Structures are given as C-alpha cells and as structure tokens.
C-alpha cells in the first residue's frame, strides 16, 4: 500500500518518500512519524501514541516530538493554498491535514493466475531493493528461450530474483508455476523424487524422471529449480531431460555455476550497484544506489539509526563496494552495524577477514567467501548462541521451536526461544509464519554449511549428540502420529511429513552410519514406513525397510516395530520391480508377530495385504483361504473389521464363480455410499475398491446391469478422491471390463484411456499392460479382431512378466475369440485350452461358462469335429451359467444357439424365454441383440 498527497508519494513497506517521482532523504524517526500521521489521515493522533510508534521502548520528552514535527513541516513545505501538512490540535496531539489517496504498491505488478492452474510459490519479499528492472528482463528472456539459469556468487540474490520473476510471469503459464527449493536435497539421486513429490507425482521406480515428464509433457508450466550447485550433476541431467522431452515446460534455475547442458541460456545476476570509487558524490546521491539503500535498511532493522551523517553514508558506500554488492554479505555486515556502530565496521572487517574481499573470493573455494562473513558473525555470538547455531545447522530446511529444543539439548522453552530469536535477530536464521500461526525458522544454505563445518570441528561427542537428538526428535513425532492413528486408517500426516522427509532421510542415513544408533534407525524406519506408503514412495519405503530388517538388532526381533517393517516391506514389494521375491515371507513374519501380541486389527490389515498379493499373483484359492482365516479372526463387534472380511470373501467368491455367495457378502458390506471415502490405509482402501468393482461385475453377470454401472462408477469416484494411483487403476480397469461386458463401449473406451494415462504417469507397467489388454478386448467385441489380437498378445506378455495375473483368463478368452474371428482356429483352440488351464490352476473361474460357449463355437467351425461335440460344450456352458446364477451368460448361450441352429438342444431354452428373466428396463448389448 502507498499513500499519495500533494506531490508526495509515501510507501511504508519500502520506507521511501518521493516528491514528483524523486527520492526524498528523510530520517528514520521522521519517517515513522510521517507514516503514523498519514495512515490516520484526518484523525488526531495522540502524543502518547506517536511516542509509542516513533520511540518504542524508549523514554523521551515532548521536546523531541516537537522538534521532529517541526523538521517534517520544513521538509514537506506548504501544501497548495499555503496550508500546513501537519496541524497541532491543542491538548490532544497532531493530525495530517491534507487529503491522502491510498493506492496499491506497484513495484511489481500483481499477477493473476489463470483458472485451473496450480502454483507452488514462496511469497514475495515485502522489500526488494534495486531488482525491479532485472526481474522484468529475466521474465522476458525466459519466455523467449524457455530455459534460463541465473548464476552468481552465493548471497547475490538469485533466489529473491527468481521468486519475483516467477510471480511476475505466472500469468503466462496455464498450468501454474512450481518452485523447488533444492537446498533440502542432500543426495543427488533424490532430486527427481523430491520434484515428483512437489508435483504430486507418486513414485514407484528408482528413476522418477520419466514419471515426471509423462505428467508434464503437454503442460505449459514453469518449473523453478532453486539452489542447484550442491547437486549440480543430478540437476543438470534432470533439467536437460525435461527440456528435451517437454516442449511446453519452462525452466528457471539458480546456481553458482552453469549446468552446461543443451538448451540452457545463462544470465549472470549482477551485484547490487554501489557508488563507484573515486567519484565524489553527495550523501543523497549515494543513498540512491541499491546496495547502500539495502545496507541502511538493514542497519536500521538491527537497531541502528536511519538518520545517518554524511561520514556514515560514505563509510556505508565503501563497505558495499568491498562486499561487491553481494546482498547477503551486505545484510550480514549491516546486521551488526546497529550494535557496534557503523563507523567501527571497516576496522572489524579488516581485523577478521585480513584480505580484500575480492581477493579472498578468488583465492579460496566458493563457500569460503561466505564462510569468512559467517566466521565474523559467529565470533560475535555468545557461547550459548554458538552452540545453538552449530547444532541447528544439522537440520535441513525449516524447523520448529520443539525441534530446536530437542536437537540443541535445551529443556527450557524460554531459554531456547531466547537463543533462537537472538540468532534470527542477527540474520543467521529466517523467520516464517505459517497459515495456522505456527512460527518456524530456517538457516540459509551458506550459514548451514558454515555451521556444519563448525559442528564437525567441535568436541568429539557434540556431532553425535546433535545427530542423535535430531533422529530421536523425528522418531518421536512419527511415533506419536502412528500411536494416534487407527490401524485401518491413514496417519493423517503426509502433508506435514512431506516437508519433514529430507530430515527423516538424513536421520535414517546417520543412524545406519553410526553403529550404536541402529536401534533408533530401525524404529525410525518402522515409524516412517506408513508415511512413505501414503506418499506412494514405494521404492524408498522398500529400500529403508529392507535395510532396517537386514540390520535389525537382536533385541528388536519379534517387536511391533519388526511387524511394521515386515508389513511395509511386503506391501511396497507388491508393486516395486523385483520386490516380489520376499513378499510372502515378509507378510508371514509380520502376521506371526501380530498373532503373538494378539493385535486383531493388525492381523487383519496384514492379511488384507497378503490377500491382494496372492490374488494379484493368480492364487485365488489362497486368496479365499486368507479371507476365511480373516473371518475367523475378526471380532463380531468390530463393524469395519467385519466389512473388510466381507470384502475379501465377496471378491474371492466372485473369482471362483460362486456369484450367489459373492453377492451375499458384497451386498452386506458395500452399502456405505457416503460422498467422501473413509480415509482407510492403502491396503484396506484397496480392498474396499476391489469389493465395489467386483460387486459391479457380479451384478452384471447376474443380469442387473443398471446396478452394476452404479457400483463401478462409485468405485472410480472414491478412488479418484483418495488420490493414490494403485486403487484408482484397479477401479478403472475392472469398471472398464464390466462396461465392455454390458456393451457400453464408448464409456469403456474412455475409462481405458484414463487407465492408460494414470498408469503411464505413475510408471505402473502392469496396469499399462492391462489398459492395452482391455483395448484389445474392446476391439474384438466391436468386430475389430485384427486390431485387438496384437494388443491382447502384447498385454499378456507384459502382465506375465510383471506377476500381474488378474484378467489373464479374460484376456486369453478374448484372444481366442479374436483368433477365431480371423480364421485362425487352431491357435484359437490352443489359446482357449490355455485359458482353461490357467483358470483351473489359479481359481479365476467366474467365466468358465463363457469359455465353454466359445469352445462350442470353435468346435463347430473346426474340420473333423462332430456337431455332437460342439453341442456338449454348449450344454455345459448352459449348465455352468445356471449353476453360477450368471443370467448374462445364460442369455449369451441362448443367443449362440439361435445363431447356430445345429447347436440347439433340449437343455438350452430359446432367447425369448431367457430374456423374460431380466427386469424389463435392463439394457445391454446382448439384450439389444436378443430383442432384434
């Protein structure tokens, strides 16, 4: 907000006063006095209030106020008509007596984000000195070249400029702007994973770069990669890949050196301009330079005076030249000027640094230049502040007062607050205030590097005490979250723990580097595993749990922590490539512990995961056994546990073809139609989705197509709201299969396309193959067998290699039908025989009746096969359809008999008789065919 009166413009946020567009020199007290009066334009401000505003925490007499008011009147002159700007109201105070116009500040124009875009951006700084034109230039160049790196020394202001540019340019990007602060990434191998988390892309592979490019390839998006230098090789590979693969994605990076990759354009962020040496300037002319303005601002903020003498302004200009206009260096030096006096600063700098600033920078590695500044600042701290500064350097990113207490070893919150606020006042920590009012802090990257160096050179035990306190703090936070969460539900903390992941990773790495802390590491891995699963960081979850179990201390064997580790290893192993080999054993180990401690819900949760694994692997018989075992365990009084068991039983019976029993279990447990899905954990929620889509298929086969549609669409709605790709893919796949059976081919095609997109974006190879198989099956149903057959063949090959056996029987049957329709009868019969073999071996037998019907058609079309043999197959198809209660299959058998009169027998009724068994308003492709 700015205020305009007469020829003047006052901007409190920038602490500037202009007259006809030119800067007006004004002292700090006078500025505060003018602001207080202008903000209350027209109203009387008491002398007491003015004293509190201009001289907080100081006792001054009334004479000082009168002197400053007099000085202001002299500075402002007279308003039009000879009127005074400031009026004295006797006995009450002062008032600003001319009209004041309020207007929004226009230093950087506000950006309007287009509808539908999502931006992840830090807020703009309220005060940015001397960078407005640079920001505009960077925004224009970025839009021209698409890939721009901002380079320069540490502390030059690259991040500030990048944030401002992103805000200024975001209206150009229809899919938003995403800011990635890479200072929290200590391992280059985790760059892509961190960016995937920020973009909301679940990671299931070791290299998520391709996952990210699949998501953003066609999106007009600005990706800002900030602070790349410490992991520059990894960032360079990632940025080049995104640039080449995603033609609509724009890249803005900040680093101390160029990435040196294809497509990169470079802009060197210049230092803040300082008065040139050897050119005599008046004080007001020196104050017009951005470097000096920044220095004066920060000096005032640290307790110094804004009313500087000509000598002090000259010294400030000299210091800014020595610091080469590096913003961070200027801020650090100015931060102490308020304490020691500005005129003392050159001597302090000479004493501490020893060499001219530029010489030190060229003679030593990059961080040494900033280390010199931090060394000087560090030596001004008290012993308690030094201890806190060193230890807080271990933390990655933002931290709370609780974290600081645990890591610094403070028991008294008042003592900790005093230390932290002291560091923040000295600009060694930055303060942040979240939307919920929580205060957090963050150490800059250069300060943290310096603090870590000091920590490593400290007493032998200090580093270990710090790292152990850090690990134990995050362990406590995670265990508290798990302790409050219900076994069947999410921890409810992924949003907050997404920010904590860099520290959790740091703590885990340290624990396993320190032999004496392996037990803490195991507990931390067990506590973090549920969060990693919820964030879909399956590969990372699998690696940490495998390491923890491999190095599990003997005293933790059989503990709840081991059960959690085994369970997380197994659940992640279902999806992670090459993770299947130890899944069954891990589930068994976890279950044994849960049984020993008599934790019913943990047992059921583990069995739910094991049930998914076995049935996905084509072991439907085992899946039914697990469901029956769960039924034995579940308490009668636990409704959610009973529903979970019903879901597993219903799905298992549906695969076996026992539609009646499947319907009984699913009808009893799938009646919860709340608009928002319950926040179950991944395994329990996946069972819920499986139950809904399988109930839809059961209803479809029983002839209730309308109800089937409602259930499968409800499953998709809930899975989409849940936000995890695995249950979402399951819902889409089985819903599409049901709609294909019903003949809703256009809707099925839409679902197949959505499945292919989500599976591709999340690198779920098995579900990508399922989408291909469904596309092939749909083509066969629509009479495009030449298209469908190769799709089905490719899908079956991939699904087998991925150990994903769900739908293999269906796809084999569809492939056999497609081969028959293209006159490849021998291959069709061989494929159908394989389908029967797989169905019997796996227990996936719900469509045996349909396969027998197809066997009859193939037998009829084969040379040398007697009609009686074909008729036997059709009669068996009818018997099985009736036995299973599959009215849809019964109608298909009757339609086949009508189409091939030679197959007619006394066993199979006519089409009209079967059609009469359907509810009158039911509709499907076969019903329409029967009525034609």
Q: Which residues of 768-801 are buried (b: 16+ CB within 10 A; e: fewer)?
A: bbbbbbbbbbbbbbeeebebbbebbbebbebbee
Q: Is the pLDDT of residue 313 over 90?
A: no
Q: Is the pLDDT of residue 14 over 70?
A: yes
* pLDDT for position 575: 83
Average pLDDT over residues 777-794: 94
Q: Which of 287-301, 457-471, 639-653, 749-763 has the lowest mean pLDDT?
A: 287-301
Q: Is the pLDDT of residue 916 over 80?
A: yes
* pLDDT for position 389: 94
Say which residue, 699 or 43, is predicted with more confidence: 699
Q: Is the pLDDT of residue 677 over 60?
A: no
Measured CA distances, 835 to 231, 816, 824 (Å): 52, 9, 16
* pLDDT for position 159: 87
Q: What percent of the chain has pLDDT over 90?
A: 42
Q: Is the pLDDT of residue 368 over 50?
A: no
Locate 331 and state its tokens. 């801020």
Say which residue, 881 or 322, is predicted with more confidence: 881
Range with top average pLDDT, 181-190, 282-291, 883-892:
883-892
Q: 1: which residues sit within 8 A by CB, 6+ positions away?
A: 12, 13, 102, 103, 104, 105
Average pLDDT over residues 617-639: 89
* pLDDT for position 492: 57
Separation between Cα atoms, residue 442 and residue 444, nearest integer Å: 6
Average pLDDT over residues 586-605: 92
Q: Is the pLDDT of residue 108 over 80?
A: no
* pLDDT for position 351: 44
- Write the pLDDT tens digit of every residue in 265-274: 999 888 888 8
407, 391 contact by CB (below 8 A)? yes
Q: Which of 360-364, 838-842, 854-858 has the lowest mean pLDDT?
A: 360-364
Average pLDDT over residues 181-208: 72
* pLDDT for position 769: 94
Average pLDDT over residues 500-522: 91
Which DSSP letter does residue 259 get?
Answer: -
- CA-based Rg of the chain, rounded to a whole angstrom? 36
Of 799, 805, 864, 862, the C-alpha closest to 828 is: 862
Locate 738 and state its tokens. 């049901």
Residue 696's pLDDT band, with cuts at 50, 70 and 90, is very high
Average pLDDT over residues 390-416: 90
Q: Which of 283-287, 435-439, 556-560 has the lowest mean pLDDT?
A: 435-439
Q: Is the pLDDT of residue 116 over 60?
A: no
- Write the pLDDT tens digit of every residue in 548-585: 999 999 999 999 999 999 999 999 988 887 766 789 89
Say which residue, 203 or 464, is predicted with more confidence: 464
Place of tokens 């000082």: 64
* pLDDT for position 235: 93
The number of angstroms, rounded, from the C-alpha of 471 to the middle of its chain's C-alpha atoms is 23
Of 842, 846, 881, 849, the C-alpha closest to 654 is: 846
Instruction: Tell me which H or E stretch contains 250.
Output: strand 249-255
């Amino acid at each position: 907000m700015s205020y305009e009166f007469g020829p003047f413009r006052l901007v409190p946020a920038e602490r500037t006063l202009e007259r006809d567009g030119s800067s007006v020199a004004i002292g700090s007290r006078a500025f505060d006095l003018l602001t207080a009066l202008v903000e209350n334009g027209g109203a009387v401000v008491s002398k007491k209030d003015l004293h509190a505003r201009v001289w907080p925490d100081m006792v001054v007499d009334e004479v000082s106020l009168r002197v400053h008011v007099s000085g202001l009147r002299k500075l402002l002159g007279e308003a039009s008509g000879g009127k005074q700007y400031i009026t004295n109201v006797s006995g009450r105070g002062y008032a600003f007596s001319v009209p004041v116009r309020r207007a929004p500040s226009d230093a950087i124009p506000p950006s309007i984000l287009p509808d539908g875009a999502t931006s992840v951006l830090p807020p703009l700084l309220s005060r940015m000195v001397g960078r407005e034109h640079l920001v505009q230039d960077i925004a224009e160049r970025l839009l021209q070249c698409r890939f721009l790196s901002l380079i320069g020394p540490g502390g030059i202001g690259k991040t500030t400029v990048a944030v401002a540019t992103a805000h200024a340019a975001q209206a150009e990007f229809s899919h938003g702007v995403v800011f990635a602060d890479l200072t929290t990434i200590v391992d280059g191998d985790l760059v892509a994973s961190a960016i995937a988390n920020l973009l909301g892309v679940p990671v299931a592979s070791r290299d998520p770069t391709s996952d990210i490019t699949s998501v953003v390839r066609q999106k007009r998006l600005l990706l800002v990669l900030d602070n790349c230098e410490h992991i520059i090789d990894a960032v360079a590979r990632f940025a080049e890949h995104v640039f080449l693969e995603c033609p609509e994605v724009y890249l803005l990076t900040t680093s101390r050196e160029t990435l040196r990759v294809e497509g990169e354009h470079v802009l060197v962020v210049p230092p803040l301009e300082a008065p040139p040496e050897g050119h005599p300037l008046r004080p007001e002319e020196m104050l017009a330079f951005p470097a000096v303005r920044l220095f004066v601002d920060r000096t005032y903020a640290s307790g110094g005076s804004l009313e500087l003498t000509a000598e002090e302004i000259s010294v400030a200009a000299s210091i800014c030249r020595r610091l080469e206009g590096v913003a961070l260096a200027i801020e650090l030096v100015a931060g102490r000027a308020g304490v020691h006096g500005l005129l003392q600063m050159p001597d302090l700098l000479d004493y501490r640094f020893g060499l001219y600033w530029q010489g030190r920078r060229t003679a030593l590695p990059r961080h040494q230049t900033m280390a010199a500044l931090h060394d000087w600042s560090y030596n001004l701290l008290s012993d308690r502040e030094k201890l806190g500064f060193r230890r807080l350097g271990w933390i990655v990113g933002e931290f709370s007062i609780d974290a600081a207490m645990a890591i610094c070893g403070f028991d008294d919150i008042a003592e900790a607050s005093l230390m932290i606020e002291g560091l923040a006042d000295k600009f060694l920590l930055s303060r942040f205030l979240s939307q919920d009012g929580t205060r957090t802090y963050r150490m800059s990257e250069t300060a943290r590097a310096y603090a870590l160096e000091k920590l490593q050179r400290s007493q032998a035990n200090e580093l270990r005490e710090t790292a152990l306190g850090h690990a134990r703090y995050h362990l406590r936070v995670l265990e508290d979250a798990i302790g409050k969460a219900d076994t069947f539900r999410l921890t409810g903390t992924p949003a907050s723990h997404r920010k904590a992941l860099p520290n959790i990773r740091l703590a885990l790495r340290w624990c396993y580097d320190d032999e004496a802390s392996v037990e803490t590491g195991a507990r931390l891995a067990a506590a973090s595993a549920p969060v990693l699963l919820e964030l879909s960081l399956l590969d990372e979850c699998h690696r940490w749990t495998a390491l923890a179990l491999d190095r599990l201390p003997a005293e933790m064997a059989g503990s709840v922590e081991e059960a959690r580790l085994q369970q997380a290893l197994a659940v992640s192993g279902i999806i992670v490539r090459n993770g299947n080999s130890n899944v069954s054993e891990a589930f068994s180990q976890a279950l044994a512990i849960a049984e020993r401690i008599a934790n019913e819900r943990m047992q059921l949760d583990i069995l739910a995961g094991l049930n998914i694994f076995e049935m996905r692997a084509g072991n439907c018989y085992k899946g039914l056994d697990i469901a029956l075992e769960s039924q034995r365990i579940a308490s009668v009084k636990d409704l959610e546990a009973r529903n979970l068991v019903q879901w597993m039983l219903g799905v298992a019976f549906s695969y076996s073809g026992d539609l009646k029993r499947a319907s009984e279990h699913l009808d009893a447990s799938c009646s919860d139609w709340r608009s928002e899905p319950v926040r179950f954990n991944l395994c329990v929620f996946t069972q819920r989705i499986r139950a809904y889509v399988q109930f839809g298929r059961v209803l479809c086969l029983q002839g209730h197509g309308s109800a089937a549609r409602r259930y499968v669409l409800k499953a998709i709605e809930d899975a989409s709201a849940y936000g995890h790709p695995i249950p979402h893919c399951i819902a889409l796949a089985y819903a599409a299969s049901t709609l294909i059976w019903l003949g809703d081919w256009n809707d099925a095609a839409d679902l197949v396309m959505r499945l292919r997109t989500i599976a591709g974006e999340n690198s779920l190879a098995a579900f990508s193959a399922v989408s291909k198989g469904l596309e092939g099956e749909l083509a066969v149903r629509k009479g495009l067998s030449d298209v469908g057959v190769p799709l089905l063949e490719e899908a079956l090959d991939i699904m087998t290699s991925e150990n994903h056996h769900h739908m293999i029987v269906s796809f084999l049957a569809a492939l056999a039908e497609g081969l028959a329709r293209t006159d490849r009868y021998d291959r069709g019969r061989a494929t159908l025989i394989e389908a029967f073999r797989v169905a019997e071996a796996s227990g996936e037998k719900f469509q045996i009746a349909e396969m027998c019907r197809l066997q009859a058609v193939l037998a009829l079309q084969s040379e040398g096969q007697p009609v009686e043999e074909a008729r036997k197959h059709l009669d068996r198809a009818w018997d099985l359809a009736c036995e299973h209660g599959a009215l849809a299959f019964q109608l298909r058998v009757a339609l086949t008999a009508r189409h091939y009169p030679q197959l007619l027998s006394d066993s199979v009724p006519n089409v009209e008789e079967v059609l009469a068994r359907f509810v009158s308003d039911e509709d499907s492709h076969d019903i329409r065919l029967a009525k034609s």
